[in-house]
Amino acid sequence: MGGLARKATILDNLINNNEHPIVLDAGDLYFKKDNLDPGVTLESAKINAEIITESFNAMGCDAFSPGSKDFAAGLDFILEQYKNANFKYISSNIANKNNKLLFDPYTIINRGGFKIGVIGLSSFFDSQEVTVLDPFHSLDLIIQEVNNKTDLLILLFNASQQDLTKIYNQNYDIDMIISSKSRTRSSDGGSKIPTYIAGDRGKILYKFKFNLVDKDLPIVDLAWCENTISRVTDRLDKMKMGDINADLYSIYKNDKKTLNRVISYEAQLDKANQLLENAINTLQFERIELGKTVFDRTDILKIVDEGKLKIKELVGPMPPVDNHDNHHHGHNHDGHDHSH
């Protein structure tokens, strides 16, 4: 089965931790491919997608921005899931063939006295049933409107790497990007706009905690600062060739290329340290491996088990799965998130 938490992300609310956290998904949630084979494969994939919708309803998802793979079973099917969902579908650039948006372009979520704007966006993809409008023009049309209404702006972007780079180069006023499409698993948000990608295997949940004090100040990604300090310090130490007190400028004074690397590393180190020292608004990050240490939700297990019965009736018995080192009392979760 496709991963229930393929791009699911939990944001702890900003002030009152007794409130329900914000749960978001950046797309490619329902299917593993852009195109599915007809017949039994398609029908079983549809059942999986229905399981995901029901489970996200039970989890309390706040917003989902569809990506290219979510249309693999056709437009009518995704619209059926939209009708059955208790959570918002958002996209500022996926439209019908008359260029009318299929879903609201954004949503505003109130938590802990703050207003969090969430915009949905997708890179271009080919489809006979929908029109993918230019993502940057679409973003330009609404970003100021959303920023004027909110304290924090998050972009859910089913993005190519090229489009992510373009976002960074155009200096959009975005506080955080949650992206899908790539198989990469982020260990921090990078040096531009904090950007996190959970990969495509559906076995990891990313959890973030914001501390927002002054909405007019930038948000400091603590994971990026800490990873940068650790990585750069290690590289500089290795360049000292065993002498921790060595002067790198003396060692490499006749090696301009290496000396430039030293200067670059020290600049990165200074930037990370300064950000940490002066941080007012902060972003903390936790990566949760699913299937081993999270607790079961019996209501979601029931949804999944009922779905598996439907698939069994459709395709016959599923092959046995090795549950070695599984802490879920014998349930085969197939990479799904049945928690939170």
> What does the pLDDT average to over 42-66?
94
Domain final residue pick, 234, 250, 277: 277
Q: Which domain holds residue 23?
A: 8-214+285-289
What pLDDT sits at residue 100? 97
Q: Is residue 313 part of a domain?
A: no
Residues 73 and 192 in one domain: yes
Confidence of residue 255 (pLDDT cuts 50, 70, 90): very high
Structure confidence at residue 307 (pLDDT)? 86
Mean pLDDT along residues 291-300: 70
Residue 11 is predicted with a pLDDT of 63
* 133/112 same-domain check: yes
- Residue 41 sits in the same domain as residue 144: yes
Question: Both 192 and 101 in a single domain?
Answer: yes
Question: Which range has the worst mean pLDDT, 43-52, 97-106, 226-235, 328-337?
Answer: 328-337
> Could you tell me if residue 322 is inside a domain?
no
Residues 160-184, mean pLDDT to the nearest whole number: 92
Mean pLDDT of 28-54: 90
205 with 243, same domain? no
Q: Is 303 exposed, middle or buried (0-12, 13-18, 19+ CB in 10 A)?
A: buried
CATH number, position 91: 3.60.21.10
Mean pLDDT of all residues in 108-135: 95
89 and 120 both lie in a single domain: yes
Q: Are residues 200 and 154 in the same domain?
A: yes
Last residue of a domain, one of 251, 267, 289: 289
Residue identified by tokens 């904090």 is 194
Residues 239 and 143 in one domain: no
Is there a single domain that holds both residue 195 and residue 178? yes
Q: Is 330 inside any structural domain?
A: no
Task: Please indicate, yes or no, if residue 332 is contained in any of the structural domains.
Answer: no
Q: What is the mean pLDDT of residues 75-92?
A: 97
Domain count, the chain: 2
Alpha-carbon distance of 286 to 8, in angstroms, equals 13
Mark whether 210 and 234 lie in a shared domain: no
Pairwise pLDDT comparison (197 vs 15), residue with the higher score: 197
Q: pLDDT tens digits, residue range 316-336?
A: 665 554 444 443 333 333 333
170 with 63, same domain? yes
Asked if residue 10 has pLDDT above 80, the reply is no
Percent with pLDDT over 90 in the chain: 62
- Look at residue 202 in the predicted model and tell me its pLDDT: 63
Banded pLDDT at 2 (limits 50, 70, 90) = very low
Q: Is residue 48 part of a domain?
A: yes
